[in-house]
Structure 1
Amino acid sequence: MDIKAILLDFDGTTLQRDQVFISVRNMYAIRKALDKGIYIVPSTGRAENMQPPQIEAEKRIRYYITSGGARVVDHSTGEIIHEEILTPEDSARMCRVFEGRNIYTEIAAGGKIYLEKAVADHLEQYPVPSHHVWFIEAGRQIVIDKPSRYFSENGIGIEKVNMYGIPAGLQQQIYDEVEHSGVAHITDPVGENMQFFPQGLDRTRGIRKLLDKLGISMEQVMSIGDSVLDAEAVRASGVGVVVGNAPQWLKDEADFVTAPFDEDGVAIAIEKFILNKG
């Protein structure tokens, strides 16, 4: 089997339960695959500067598919290989969905995470996800006073938006505002935590653009994931792998179902298909 690249989802797939670190066995398998000249490519909903510390530290991991495919980048040079982002004008409009409503919101743009100043000044009052605390404590976030004005005036387009702890009375309203915007789409059901991406975003377009650059076909790719956001890549890859905690419908479409994310499922798949241990 001529696998030349492995696409890795993180949350619910590669990371441990803390959603910050990768297990010793998983990381060992990843490094062994790199030793064999195989590209390890993060393929995740996370922004470029919110990748797991062990991934950032491994300089041989060069290409990132981030924000659900909205931004594909060569992390070593900063080259943008593919982008599907909101226009600055649409970014400003979508910021008004949450702006001034006292909702903890992470705005991904240009590979970075932006926070609204009114919220950032009182983070102790908001439900910052536990696995994002390291990021906040490291000071990687950019605090801006009025997001709608900032993105419009600076000509910056948004990749994705994550909202946490949305008050019950606003959940349906915010969902409807995004879905009726014509430019963005929420990937979650109505609830206290919702994220939205540019309308029509397709992660596989970014994947194919990167593979074209590397001279690799989808048949030479192994994709490992756990959710609906990974489904198209799992279907299109030469070897589509899902972890044991994935929903049954996704397992039914996979070529191989490995162990759950917290039982070194990624390592088991790499050992089987790349390191010939299975």
Structure 2
Amino acid sequence: MTYRMLALSIDGTLLRSNSRLSRQTKDAIEYVKEKGVYITLATERPFPAAKKIAKALKLDNVLITHDGGFIASDVDEPLLSRKLHEDKTFHIAEILENYKCHIRLLHEQFSIGNKVRQKNQLIARMTLGIQDPLYYPVTFVDSICEHLMENPVAPPKIQAQFFSAEEAQAASMELQKEVPSIDTIVRGERLEIVPKGISKARGVQVVANHLGISLEQVVAIGAGVNDIDMITQAGLGVAMGNSPEELKASADWITRSNDMHGVAYMVKEVFRKQLKVNI
């Protein structure tokens, strides 16, 4: 099989556990590019965050971001943009503000977050971990709902960081019951909300169709449970060595971990005998 497209997740795949790109990974991406293979990133991160990683890899291709809700190479000319309606965004914020959590509305060009009080201390900038979009405008407000009354927003994605996994799960169940046409993803203490039907797998389909590439000609590499659909639909689905057993069981191939240059190892094994292709 000649593979014409490579889709990679970012966290746990391209990035090492220290959130850095290794020289071996950069060289591997350059090697695949020279083979004429189209490379895209498929991530839950916002577009600006993915674009930063793509720039470091010298990629100017279409990126699958916001868990598939925003697909573009240029923020002003998306190939696909699925957003939560302004009214639905307000309803979600109403429900989330009944919980003790930090909320982020993740637009493709900016982010809005609420200030959180915990143990009598104001946490003005409670982060959402390595995905925190510090390199594009972030506005912190006392109340997301009050802000939306004056400034309606339709974001591709909403994130909420809780102080316990149980609270995140409870909020997810309430949202699924009260707000139609959304999907929720619980990752420990973090809850993510996207329009119904949005996924990395669907994003890969959109990009492949746009390029005239069949899914059998796609290699997809992931490291999280949310990558299962993406790797099972690809011609070659690869799980990182550091991924959970559920993902490994769904993969065609398991490479080394992200701290052992798993992407570079996979590239050498899969693409070294492949001749250059034209997209």
The answer to whether the Cα contact below 8 Å between 1:92 and 1:149 also exists between their aligned partners in 2 is no
| CA-CA distance at 1:156 after TM superposition | 3.5
| CA-CA distance at 1:114 after TM superposition | 2.3
State the match for 2:64 in structure 1.
65
| CA-CA distance at 1:269 after TM superposition | 1.1
State the match for 1:212 in structure 2.
209
The answer to whether the Cα contact below 8 Å between 1:18 and 1:131 also exists between their aligned partners in 2 is no
> Using the alignment, how far apart are the partners of 2:81 and 2:131 within structure 1?
24
**1:245 is the counterpart of 2:242:** yes
The answer to whether the Cα contact below 8 Å between 1:72 and 1:80 also exists between their aligned partners in 2 is yes
| CA-CA distance at 1:208 after TM superposition | 1.8
Residues 157 and 235 (structure 1), Cα distance of their counterparts in 2 relative to 1, 3 Å cut: same
The answer to whether the Cα contact below 8 Å between 1:44 and 1:66 also exists between their aligned partners in 2 is yes
| CA-CA distance at 1:139 after TM superposition | 5.2
Instruction: Report how many residues are paired.
Output: 270
Percent of matched pairs sharing the same residue: 23
Instruction: Supply the AA of the counterpart residue of 2:14.
Output: T
State the match for 2:229 in structure 1.
232
**1:81 is the counterpart of 2:79:** yes
Instruction: Supply the AA of the counterpart residue of 1:229.
Output: N
Residue by residue, what CA displacement relative to the aligned partner does 1:32-63 show, whole Å, maximum 9, x if unpaired? 21222222101011110112744224443321
The answer to whether the Cα contact below 8 Å between 1:7 and 1:42 also exists between their aligned partners in 2 is yes
State the match for 1:105 in structure 2.
103
Deviates more, 1:179-188 or 1:266-275: 179-188
SS at match of 2:104: strand
> Using the alignment, how far apart are the partners of 2:139 and 2:44 within structure 1?
19
Instruction: Supply the AA of the counterpart residue of 1:205.
Output: R
The answer to whether the Cα contact below 8 Å between 1:86 and 1:183 also exists between their aligned partners in 2 is no
Instruction: Supply the AA of the counterpart residue of 1:220.
Output: Q
Deviates more, 1:47-56 or 1:260-269: 47-56
**Root mean square deviation of aligned Cα:** 2.9
> Using the alignment, how far apart are the partners of 2:109 and 2:228 within structure 1?
23
1:116 corresponds to which of 91, 95, 114: 114
| CA-CA distance at 1:15 after TM superposition | 0.7
Instruction: Supply the AA of the counterpart residue of 1:79.
Output: E
State the match for 1:195 in structure 2.
192
The answer to whether the Cα contact below 8 Å between 1:48 and 1:112 also exists between their aligned partners in 2 is no
- Unaligned runs of at least 5 residues, structure 2: 275-279
Deviates more, 1:49-58 or 1:217-226: 49-58
Deviates more, 1:257-266 or 1:28-37: 28-37
**1:13 is the counterpart of 2:13:** yes
> Using the alignment, how far apart are the partners of 2:207 and 2:170 within structure 1?
37
SS at match of 2:267: helix
State the match for 1:184 in structure 2.
182
Residues 167 and 230 (structure 1), Cα distance of their counterparts in 2 relative to 1, 3 Å cut: closer
> Using the alignment, how far apart are the partners of 1:239 and 1:193 within structure 2?
30
State the match for 2:252 in structure 1.
255
| CA-CA distance at 1:104 after TM superposition | 2.4
Residue by residue, what CA displacement relative to the aligned partner does 1:222-245 show, whole Å, maximum 9, x if unpaired? 100022211111111111111112
Residues 160 and 4 (structure 1), Cα distance of their counterparts in 2 relative to 1, 3 Å cut: same
| CA-CA distance at 1:10 after TM superposition | 0.9
> Using the alignment, how far apart are the partners of 1:69 and 1:231 within structure 2?
14
- Unaligned runs of at least 5 residues, structure 1: none
Instruction: Supply the AA of the counterpart residue of 1:175.
Output: S
The answer to whether the Cα contact below 8 Å between 1:65 and 1:73 also exists between their aligned partners in 2 is yes
> Using the alignment, how far apart are the partners of 1:129 and 1:104 within structure 2?
8
TM-score (norm 2): 0.83
State the match for 2:277 in structure 1.
none
**1:266 is the counterpart of 2:263:** yes
Residues 192 and 208 (structure 1), Cα distance of their counterparts in 2 relative to 1, 3 Å cut: closer
